[in-house]
Chains A and B, each alone.
Chain A
């Protein structure tokens, strides 16, 4: 099958691209050193210090190192416990929580009234249940 003009052009250009890719210049050692210096300086300046490491952390897998960077197994355990507690509360909510949430969600109770001065009656001006202490 004869090549179309477009295919011929693509082939011709590809030869240039291939040559250029072959001659991709590497970064100098000086640049690599500068970039690494910046990286290490950024880590030093970072507000969150590296978590305390016990033992030869470099023997661990990438997963273990990522866990350590996130705060280690204690942080992971806390996260898991919180997730479990959330799931449990969602599945089996305590009775008190059910009553409260039902009142709030249905609008039965829209506000809380706090009596700041018990025993003090307002004789005039404000009457009824509106005003003053609604929060």
Chain B
């Protein structure tokens, strides 16, 4: 199956195919990156789904435009995309800084019922609120490290800072998050675990 075969192709190879007009490559790239780009935008924006969708679409549009000029092996596509998303989110946040905590998005699952599901929602809301209270760069570093799972060198590349600066930002960010969240463990149902 050709479409499946492309699923194993490298990002760089897919971009070459895309630039050559291969529609299957367009589909694979869309499926590979849109979820990550959207999730990252959603986290950086503190849960504003509509804005996150717009930013995800814009970031991917920039990828389509840059594809014919992409310099192979120079930067990872994910790194480039995370940087574009961060820049777009920063612009949006500057324009409309405050997203009221009441509006912080909850997980999309609309089937409440089980206690654990409600607790999970409360924890995610609490985490989003705590993240939103961090300075922008700390929030970005913590999200890239602990939500997106990037290593410090790649985060440094995304944020255009040294790895030592990344370590400092994540350490300070986590300290602030701990101060806010760890005291609420009982309230949010973590118990003694």
Contacts and interface: CB of A to CB of B under 8 A. Distances in A.
B106 to A, nearest CB: 9
A39 B22 contact: no
Contact of B177 (A13, A49, A51, A68): A13
B153 interface: no
Interface string A68-85: 111000000000000000
A48 B19 contact: yes
Interface of A is mostly: helix
A49 B49 CA distance: 36
A59 B3 CA distance: 10
Q: How large is the interface on B (under 10, 10 to 19, 20 to 34, 35 or more residues)?
A: 35 or more
A32 B177 CA distance: 33
B53 A19 contact: no
Contact of B49 (A13, A22, A25, A61): A25
Interface of B: 2, 5-6, 8-9, 13, 16-27, 29-31, 34-35, 38-39, 42, 49, 53, 56-57, 60-61, 64-65, 67-68, 105, 107-109, 120-121, 123-124, 126-128, 146-147, 174-175, 177-178, 181-182, 185, 190, 193
21 contacts: A9-B182, A12-B178, A13-B146, A13-B178, A16-B181, A20-B123, A23-B107, A25-B105, A27-B38, A35-B34, A38-B64, A40-B26, A42-B61, A43-B21, A46-B68, A48-B19, A61-B5, A62-B13, A62-B17, A65-B17, A69-B20
Interface of A: 9-10, 12-17, 19-28, 30-32, 34-36, 38-40, 42-43, 46, 48-51, 58-62, 65-66, 68-70
